[in-house]
Structure 1
Amino acid sequence: MKVALIGATGFVGKALLEELLARGHDVTALARHPEKLNARPGLKVLAADVQDPAQVQAAVTGSDAVVSAFNAGWANPDIYRDFIQGSRAIVSGTKAAGVRRYIVVGGAGSLYTPQGTQLVDAPDFPAAIYEGARAARDVLSELRNETSLAWTLLSPPVAFHPGSATERTGKYQVGSDTPLSTGDGPGTISAADLAVAVVDELEAPKHVGKRFTVAW
């Protein structure tokens, strides 16, 4: 497939880029700083600001799917505003380009506890990531009202972070709206295997118009 990838220089995006290229997909990576990505077979890098719908539209036109690992930056004091604005611009540009398939890597904060509340609303939710998690939750809410795109959102497990394991096993368990566990603790997975789950969904869709989650 021809896949437009957003966030290819990030923690998850790097793993997505490797998985897509390894499976033979043609990847167009949108980057504000294209010099961060080296030329490789199967990869085209375009300079684009994903906060601008017109730039997104121009960059993704002709793609079979858009895969987004967009993040406005955890240290960004305006992360909530920029996350929402960027996500809306990506959706708008994707629709304007006539691309229907849209897969997003979201957050774990919108997953539900057994009591029916979302993790992000817990009193002990980490303050350092609260605004970003709240934005990711609101992006999912907006996607659930989206009818023009064949969208899917993947929420990573609770214990997923840049310090997680790095190996690619090609295996994972699948859930829907509640967190998965790994052994006796909260679920985790490597970025490589999260990317496997995303590309599996791209190649054989099972969650169109839905959110799902994965863990080992």
Structure 2
Amino acid sequence: MTTSATETHFAAGPKILVLGATGPTGRHIVSQALSRGYDVTVLVRSPEKATDLEGAKLVVGDARDEKVLRQAVKGRDAVISALGTPASPFREVTLLSTATRALISAIKAERDLRLVVITGMGAGDSAGHGGVVFDKLIFPLLLRKVYADKNRQEAIIKDSGLDWTIVRPSILNNKVGRGAIRTLTDLSDFHGGAIARQDVATFVLDQVTSREWLRKSPLLTW
């Protein structure tokens, strides 16, 4: 593997591990990765939910289990996390931060890998830029505890010393991707937006071989 200022080159297609592969965005990531000729491994807790991920290698286990993660990252060039968690108005959420902490330990035990993680609009310094309905209703009533864990997750990633990129999509939808997206780090004039999961998957996969957004946290929107 050789690197340039903006790209990472692989002798063959990169070998990637996808977490959250059976989720709606994760499925797009796996499908597009396979179509690019990538060698794809997915970590799934329920293999029956992955029967349609034909072409990907399955590792069965919990994303919070460092032992399972060490097995899954072995021989990989990059890890993509599309892990999500349902809205949780009352119960504390710890899945994302716990799994991310275990993942980083597993990566460091194997070798340093490229890490691309999807969090969301509302995490970190993107808080307060989701528009009136998202910021005043959806976020405080349904997502406050989820995003508290996303913030812990982002802090763990940024403190890892790995080659990471955090991807913060605006409100996700299942429309056909447009191919043209905006990647924002200056959110001073941004208040709300939407983007297709298909476009997010394309951007995320591009980061496996690109260093343009290395150690940055772009917000994606149309």
Higher RCO (CA 8 Å, separation ≥ 6 residues): 2
Q: Same fold (TM over 0.5)?
A: yes
Q: Alpha-carbon deviations, 1:119-175, whole Å to 9, x = none?
A: 39x66533211111111122112222221x111100011xx13xx242022221111
- Counterparts of 1:5-44 in structure 2, within 5 Å, are 5-38=18-51, 42-44=55-57
TM-align CA RMSD:
2.4
Q: Which residue of 2 aligns with 1:129?
A: 143
Q: Could you tell me how far apart the structure 2 residues matched to 1:79 and 1:71 are?
A: 14
Counterpart of 2:198 (choices 192, 195, 211) is 192
Q: Could you tell me how far apart the structure 1 residues matched to 2:68 and 2:54 are?
A: 24
- Counterparts of 1:148-159 in structure 2, within 5 Å, are 149-157=162-170
- Aligned partners of 1:25 and 1:42 also within 8 Å: no
Counterpart of 2:119 (choices 81, 84, 106) is 106
1:172 aligns with 2:181: yes
Q: Could you tell me how far apart the structure 2 residues matched to 1:59 and 1:72 are?
A: 21
Q: Which residue of 1 aligns with 2:211?
A: 205
- Aligned partners of 2:89 and 2:145 also within 8 Å: no
Identity of aligned residues (%): 27
Q: Could you tell me how far apart the structure 1 residues matched to 2:169 and 2:104 are?
A: 21
Q: Could you tell me how far apart the structure 1 residues matched to 2:90 and 2:182 are?
A: 35
- Aligned partners of 2:16 and 2:76 also within 8 Å: yes
Q: Alpha-carbon deviations, 1:44-76, whole Å to 9, x = none?
A: 111021111111011111001000011243359
- Aligned partners of 1:111 and 1:119 also within 8 Å: no
Instruction: Tell me the CA shift for residue 41 of structure 1.
Output: 5.6
Q: Evaluate the alpha carbon distance shift between residue 46 and residue 177 of structure 1 in structure 2; reply closer, same or farther with a 3 A threshold.
A: farther
Residue correspondences, number: 203
1:4 aligns with 2:17: yes
Report the TM-score, using the length of structure 1 for normalisation.
0.84
Which stretch has the larger CA shift, 11-20 or 191-200?
11-20
One-letter amino acid of the counterpart of residue 145, structure 2: E
Q: Could you tell me how far apart the structure 2 residues matched to 1:109 and 1:209 are?
A: 18
Counterpart of 1:145 (choices 149, 156, 159) is 159
Counterpart of 1:53 (choices 66, 70, 83) is 66
Q: Alpha-carbon deviations, 1:27-55, whole Å to 9, x = none?
A: 10000012211266641111021111111
Which stretch has the larger CA shift, 85-94 or 24-33?
85-94
Structure 1 residue runs of 4+, over 6 Å off? Answer: none
Name the SS of the counterpart of 1:5 in structure 2: strand
- Aligned partners of 1:60 and 1:94 also within 8 Å: yes
